[in-house]
Amino acid sequence: MEDNSVHKTQQKRFIYTLLIGIILAIVLFYYSLTSGTYALTFNETLRTLFFIDQDPQQQLVIFTFRLPRIILGLLVGLALGVVGGVLQAITKNELADPGILGIQSAVGFVVVCYLLFVQQSAVEQSTGGLFSMSTWGWIGGIVACLLLFSLATQQGTLDPKRLILVGIALNSGFSALTLFTSLKMNPSDFEMATVWLSGSIYSASWEQVISVLVWVVIIVPFFFVFAPILNVLQFHETTIKSFGVNANLTRFLFLLGAVGLISASVMVSGAIVFVGLLAPHIARKLVGSNYAYVLPISGIVGMNLVVLGDLIGRTIFAPAELPVGIVISIIGVPCFIYQLLRKNKKLGR
């Protein structure tokens, strides 16, 4: 009876948090759509969105520049937030993040190689080309993950501390390779790649929105449906086996999906780090440790973080812009240090 009461309380808390997160996302959506160098009123925005007003300048600002950028920010934030929760669950490490573990930089390296040797241009990107690029990025991410897990495993057990150290080393290595490879590009593509690698959705397009949406629609519902299994993975290996769950296979399947979302995100926005670290941390503070609740809230928090970061980046220094990745990093670095110190304190170090 008491367990049922606790479950209902947690469920109510989850629903309220989800609703507040959605309302906040709508508010940020509106301010992102109307704010900037070319400001729009509520009436102008509404009339343009519903094609009542045929002002070509307003249509250009909304449908070509701002709307795809905001939607892309929401999708990338959702993907990175959910992925952060999944990675922290399968590694049992609250410091796990696609950027810190080196997965984003590995995908970024493969994408830059693709642009240099296959597509030949960072400007001409069709939906098919973007999907092909993300597939290659996914393969590169899987290879990086296999390397990461093999180096971080000792005597058949994944060492969380070693995982972070290996991840940081891989991140540095792949970042250096990416920079070296990008130097081989022509000047215009190199300039674009430099901005992109810092984490930016500046050049968002509807083709990019569609390419990310495909991955999100396929993978995110899978994560939400099977999120309760992540709760089982938090137990000791012997206990997991008693539940009839193949821990290694389950981790690998979740990892495949996570890398798919990472590759789709990196392909269009570069390496936006710390969203995968911050979003699950905030989600656990709000709704507890049940991953059936943590993953959706992580997604909502991630959406809000990316859209808010992009809004700050393009308005606070207007007409100049600061990439969203840099804005979030300014917040993320102190949070990462805090989490690291808190983890060491728990271990009595």
pLDDT tens readout for residues 60-78:
999 999 999 999 999 999 9
Identify the pLDDT of residue 125: 60
Split at pLDDT 50, 70, 90, the class of 268 is: confident
Average of per-residue pLDDT across 218-239: 92
pLDDT of 92 > 90? The answer is no
344: confidence class by pLDDT, cuts 50, 70, 90: low
pLDDT, position 349: 53
Q: Is the pLDDT of residue 191 over 90?
A: no
What's residue 98's pLDDT? Answer: 87
Residue 123: which pLDDT band, with cuts at 50, 70 and 90? very low
Question: Percent of the chain having pLDDT more than 90?
Answer: 38
* pLDDT at residue 280 tops 90: yes
- CA–CA gap between residue 134 and residue 145 (Å, rounded): 16
Least confident of 1-5, 44-48, 313-317: 1-5
Greatest mean pLDDT among 37-51, 227-241, 261-275, 302-316 lies in: 302-316
H-run or E-run covering 157: strand 157-158
The reported pLDDT for the residue numbered 121 is 54
Question: What pLDDT, on the 0 to 100 scale, is given for residue 279?
Answer: 95
Judge whether residue 198 has pLDDT over 90.
Answer: no
Residue 2 clears pLDDT 80, i.e. is over it: no
What is the reported pLDDT for 127? 66
Give the dihedral sign, CA 13/16/22/25.
Answer: negative
CA distance 189 to 277: 30
- What would the mean pLDDT of 121-133 be, rounded to a whole number? 64
**What is the chain's mean pLDDT, rounded?**
86
Q: What count of other Cβ atoms lies within 10 Å of the Cβ of residue 154?
A: 9
Least confident of 49-63, 157-171, 247-261, 268-282: 157-171
d(CA 190, CA 285): 41
CA distance 273 to 77: 11
CATH topology of domain 13-346: ABC transporter involved in vitamin B12 uptake, BtuC (1.10.3470)
Cis peptide before 319 (omega within 30 of 0): yes
CA distance 214 to 264: 9
Per DSSP, what are the bridge partners of residue 153?
158
- Which range in 124-133, 178-187, 287-296 is most confidently predicted, on average pLDDT? 287-296
Judged by average pLDDT, the poorest of 1-5, 241-245, 316-320 is 1-5
